[in-house]
Structure 1
Amino acid sequence: MAKPIIAVTMGDASGVGPEIILKAFQQSRLHEEAVLFVIGDTHILNRAKDFLNTHVEIVSIKEPEEAEQVKAGAVPCLDLHLLTSDIPVGEISKEAGNAAFRYLEKAITLANDRRIDGICTAPLNKEALHKAGHMYPGHTEILADLTGTDDYAMMLAAPNLKVVHVTTHIGLMDAILKINPERVYTTIKLAHDTLVRSGIPAPRIAVCGINPHAGENGLFGNGEEEEKIIPAVERAQDEGVQVFGPLPADTLFFRATRGDFDIVVAMYHDQGHGPIKVLGLESGVNITVGLPIIRTSVDHGTAFDIAGTGKADSASMEEAIRQAIMLSGTRENR
């Protein structure tokens, strides 16, 4: 069986992305499971070598297929020649913002052409992205736009908890207005289908309420659970999905980490992000579900404050690559 080919985009060159990529690529077990290469700039990766005081070889490649021929221990880089090594470290730069967009754009093209099996992204900086004229809130929206995807959701994964979001980067009042049965049903289905593809044939899905105690039969709120959530849960149940809720969020996440459920459907950003990040920023992974391609990412930002110091932890990057490999499977199975 041929190993899946995973492209790792370098993200914002002024942040910790290049450093955590080089650290992660030194984990031999990842290379045993997949063919890995970076989409970025060799100048920047060579600079990151100095930050890490490592002598790993950076090998420039022109096509993804060449990565398999690169000797063990070296880092293949599909060099887009967008940046020089004098780009500032730890500062917002429109050049770095544009390059981060172009790395992702190239990866999406390769994935759409089925030349790679998955994408794993290092963090970008939204302000730098906007300074470069790319007016997206972040990676997820770029991926949705460039793949023509309307129904998608953000999934966060930690070692013993997975969470998918009905709404994400909007204000809380706007989120409550946007939640409706169709969107909740779509998110439940996206969660179900993603876990089935990952090898869980009948995933157990728990759905959070919006109000304290999931409304407690009308005691709290204005009937949001009955109006916005219950019709979606019942529709999915009628289709044979093992879905439960709405359930009180204050106990649901404990139950999920205990193993009662395979994934939690959160209604808004902080409801889902908070528990994941309490479990550990260093091990969280962001997965975009609903896309026609596989995409995972670290669950942290560019960390400008420690960029260039070599201190950045690569655990989230390693887990993100591992999740991309798991979701991609072998090339024969695609």
Structure 2
Amino acid sequence: MPGLPLALSVGEPAGIGAEIIGRAWTLRHEKALPPFYAVADPAFLVSRLARLGIDAPVVAATPETVAGLFADALPVFDLGHQVEDRPGELSGATAAATVAAIETAVRHVRDGRAAGLVTAPIQKSSLYAAGFKFPGHTEFLGDLARRIWPGAPHEPVMMLAGPQLATVPVTVHIALRAVPEVLTEEMIVATGRIVDREMKAKFGLARPRLAVAGLNPHAGEDGGMGREDIDIVAPAVARLRADGIEARGPLPSDTLFHAAARQTYDVVLAMYHDQALIPVKTIAFDETVNVTLGLPFVRTSPDHGTALDIAGKGIADPSSLIAAIRMAGRMAGNGAGA
């Protein structure tokens, strides 16, 4: 949706979300950022930015007024929830505001008022205490899409994308010991189809190349270290190829991420969370973006957490958020590079 601003949810108020949003705005010209606005309590943002000496004047805005305000001030859509400025101090009382900010931003996108959503990190422990029932942001957004966007896709797939590597975990927020029991051929096929479709639609790749990692060391050593790669992963790859998708595997993950290997694919389907996230964060931690595929809207996020230990100290690095804003702008057609 070219021409529309991006909506940013501030995330956990006790964390660094407000700070990195303010710092990103101060770098808007240097980083060629597309226009964006925060969905938050304006008084909270004013207090946090003043505490840290961040020169980002806050101005009340609607999505429709952002374009005329962004050059001179940080536009903020008043969420209607008052939040206290207590960096590093978690409180279940802020959970309603955190969730409402995400829901409001998504509704703005649905209603054609915003181009996409960029989310600052949430603190799931605070949300759990207030009744939040989802393993993470990604799952919550999938449920939200189902509830407020009837008939639209709501099959969220998490992709971590950096300048040199993009990875997708097929299983996400589950214990490692549960992965072999949960992983199925159908799960890999469904994920691969979504990734192929979204890489074409949102990233402009005519024929995405998918590398599929094996579950076990050395992709199972022909069954010597488990049969999952023979019985689950290999048949899934065969089905993807039968669909016309350029997929290959299962491939040993210990030789999948070096520089030469990365030139042979566009995205890796990994079988579990850390198999996907460790390499991409190691290669480019400050520039890696969490992208949610499979939803009817653009959503990106920094690849780090709330950083409660440094919140309010003025040392948080906005690089990953800036990368997320640029990625969302690119995906939404706003002309910002990633």
Q: What TM-score, normalized by structure 1, do the two folds share?
A: 0.93
CA shift for structure 1 position 161: 0.5
User: Paired residue for 1:298, among 293, 298, 302?
Assistant: 302
Of 213, 216, 221, the residue aligned with 1:216 is: 221
SS of the residue corresponding to residue 28 of structure 1 reads coil
Structure 2 unpaired stretches of 5+: 147-152
1:245 matched residue in structure 2: 249
What is the SS of the residue equivalent to 1:130? helix
Aligned to 1:57: 57
Aligned to 2:71: 72
- Taking every aligned residue pair, what percent have the same amino acid on both sides? 38
Deviation at 1:26, TM superposition (A): 2.0
Name whichever of 207-216 and 190-199 sits farther off: 190-199
For the 8 Å contact 1:207–1:243, the answer to whether it is kept is: yes
CA distance in 2, matches of 1:150, 1:256: 35
- Specify the alignment match of 2:150 in structure 1: none
The corresponding residue for 1:96 is: 94
The whole-number CA distance in structure 2 between the counterparts of 1:256 and 1:152 is: 30
More displaced stretch, 234-243 vs 24-33: 24-33
User: What is the CA deviation profile of residues 33-82 of structure 1, one whole-angstrom value per residue up to 9, with x for unaligned ones?
Assistant: 63311111111211222233133210111x31111121513100001131
Give the AA of the match of 1:42: P
Structure 1 residue 146, shift from structure 2 partner: 0.8
Describe the superposition over 1:188-215 as per-residue Cα deviations: whole angstroms up to 9, x where unpaired: 1122122212122111110000111101
Give the secondary structure class of the aligned counterpart of 2:212.
strand
Please give the alpha-carbon distance, in whole angstroms, between the structure 1 residues aligned to 2:260 and 2:320: 21
Q: Is the contact between residue 157 and residue 294 of structure 2 (CA under 8 Å) also seen in structure 1?
A: yes
Counterpart check, 1:260 vs 2:264? yes
Tell me if 1:321 matches 2:320.
no
Q: Which runs of structure 1 show a deviation greater than 4 angstroms over 4 or more consecutive aligned residues?
A: 29-33
Distance 1:72 1:51 in 2: 22
Amino acid at match of 1:17: G
Structure 1 residue runs without a partner (length 5+)? none
Q: How many residues end up aligned between the 2 structures?
A: 328
Aligned to 1:37: 37
Instruction: Tell me which residue corresponds to 1:130.
Output: 128
Shift of 1:330: 4.9
**Which residue of 180, 184, 187 corresponds with 2:184?**
180
C-alpha offsets along residues 264-317 of structure 1, whole Å, 9 cap, x if unaligned?
A: 000001111111221243222111111111111111111110000110000000
Q: Deviations over 1:68-98 (max 9, x none)?
A: 12151310000113124x4421011112222
Instruction: Report the 3-state secondary structure (helix = DSSP H, G, I; strand = E; otherwise coil) of the residue aligned with 1:253.
Output: coil
Report what 2:149 is aligned to: none
Aligned CA RMSD, in angstroms, stands at 1.9
